[in-house]
Structure 1
């Protein structure tokens, strides 16, 4: 489990499609990661200290969601489209589903020798997209796979030989958006891409000199956010100067807004858009930070 360093704070920010941002919560007591926005628009769901938390936006209140039957959690979690459940990745490399209000979780993936890192759920809630690390060997590239949300046989989706991550369904369910190293021979040079769910139409969305991760589409499909790492970065490490980027899905090459933050891992790993497509959340981890905003 990740912890804050000496003098470091965790800041949860809310950015708007029009370019403003607001500090929603700040704390030096716990490292929170990867916000999801609940379907009622009232709260953010984050992980921290291996557990799951709900942050009430109106009350500025952070409360643990009590879960049973899961190990420590990492920052790969997505809401069930029914609004009542959440899909989770555990530090054991397995994927679970649990009630969003708290309760007993059920495991979805099998012990097949791989590690499973969840990132997307289809709009009808019927299928999950994840990254498979064969034999738990991080020296091997992650592969894009999908599986029924109730468990069962998984399927490969071919996106080249390079490592991929962050697969997420488009709002219409026709595409999977991801980052991949398949377009470059430079180690770690992840670029944004998409592929149809049947494995056809694999295409690059943006040709950049930076290392680009985790494309997240707004519910109306018009906008997207992603996190931009410095050139030469390998993986998506923590504690780097990165940019949170907002683009129109009709033009990925021209940012509408860019927010420089100190972060990376945990900043924007999962879809954090509000249900009305007007705002999204991200997390920063400034060092030697002066306390500000809400929190403690």
Structure 2
């Protein structure tokens, strides 16, 4: 069931004092930047329902659906025993299943709620969901193997029915944000592959069979979370200031847009955010709008 109007008690990552969470939708053609929901508790990582009617967000260890039109009201999904969901969550292409990450594992549950099923095994490898293949059969996960410092960072492709998955990439440098192009031909991700300065993440793409690795950005900024538009034409991503380590919260960041073939990027939005802003794909099904969360000071709320 979906429990409407319930606010979570507490948060795994609380808001910084003196800020709020604003869920916004940006129209890439008109430039309209619409506030659809504002909260005094943590909300993160909006991604659209396949019908385009709502956004899936997390906060306080739980997952909710937020309608994008009409009365904006969080409808919290009742997931049995799940109180530690993080900002890595996606809905299956057919709209029936919610995939989510919690405490180093990936789970599935009916999108209307119910009992979650763990898909990845416990152990030294921790899994963080970032992509679902166009046919819904495979999940792209960032992994951290605490038992293998030499190959500890990785990307694995995991069957959506469960398993350890196959290693697409591994190494000592951070890798994150893997997700498919709509035609299934490429997986985009961010990482420090070949970086001369620690922390300098850039965007890459690679084929699902491990061939064709190519760097797609090379700017001084620290670029994270490439999100492919449903029509395959554009990549939206998050840029942190040069010298940033990881993807911290409450930073001056930019949401930027580039062609999927590469080339120069343009800035769509400058905001206070970072962690939680666009951790998973936030494109609308019609490829016209991007959802994101900003964390401005309360004076702007």
TM-score by length of 2: 0.91
Segments of structure 2 that go 5 or more residues without pairing to the other structure are: 1-11
Segments of structure 1 that go 5 or more residues without pairing to the other structure are: 292-296
Going from structure 1 to structure 2, the CA distance change for 1:4 and 1:55 (only over 3 Å counts) comes to: same
Q: Within 2, Cα distance between the matches of 1:99 and 1:144?
A: 25
Equivalent position to 1:166, from 177, 200, 203: 177
Is 2:193 the partner of 1:179?
no
Equivalent position to 1:264, from 274, 278, 283: 274
Is 2:137 the partner of 1:133?
no
RMSD: 1.8
Secondary structure class of the residue paired with 1:289: helix
1:8-45 CA-partner distances (Å, limit 9, x unpaired) = 110111011213211111122x1100001001111000
Counterparts of residues 82-93 of structure 1 (less than 5 Å): 82-90=94-102, 92-93=103-104
Going from structure 1 to structure 2, the CA distance change for 1:215 and 1:193 (only over 3 Å counts) comes to: same
| Runs of 4+ more than 4 Å apart | 136-141
Counterparts of residues 247-258 of structure 1 (less than 5 Å): 247-255=258-266, 257-258=267-268
Q: Kindly indicate whether structure 1 or structure 2 has the higher relative contact order, using CA contacts under 8 Å at least 6 residues apart.
A: 1
Counterparts of residues 184-203 of structure 1 (less than 5 Å): 184-203=195-214
Is 2:75 the partner of 1:56?
no
Is 2:244 the partner of 1:218?
no
Equivalent position to 1:67, from 70, 79, 90: 79
What is the Cα deviation at residue 7 of structure 1?
A: 1.8
Is 2:84 the partner of 1:80?
no
What is the Cα deviation at residue 4 of structure 1?
A: 1.5
Q: Judge which range, 237-246 or 67-76, deviates more.
A: 67-76
Q: Judge which range, 11-20 or 152-161, deviates more.
A: 152-161
What is the Cα deviation at residue 6 of structure 1?
A: 2.4
Q: Within 1, Cα distance between the matches of 2:276 and 2:289?
A: 18
Going from structure 1 to structure 2, the CA distance change for 1:166 and 1:86 (only over 3 Å counts) comes to: same
Say if 1:159 and 1:202, in contact at 8 Å, map to a contact too: no
Say if 1:115 and 1:136, in contact at 8 Å, map to a contact too: no
- Structure 1 equivalent of residue 291 of structure 2: 281
What is the Cα deviation at residue 160 of structure 1?
A: 5.8
Going from structure 1 to structure 2, the CA distance change for 1:81 and 1:187 (only over 3 Å counts) comes to: same
Say if 2:121 and 2:164, in contact at 8 Å, map to a contact too: no
- Structure 2 equivalent of residue 294 of structure 1: none
Q: Judge which range, 134-143 or 124-133, deviates more.
A: 134-143
Is 2:115 the partner of 1:115?
no
Q: Judge which range, 261-270 or 66-75, deviates more.
A: 66-75
Say if 1:36 and 1:270, in contact at 8 Å, map to a contact too: yes
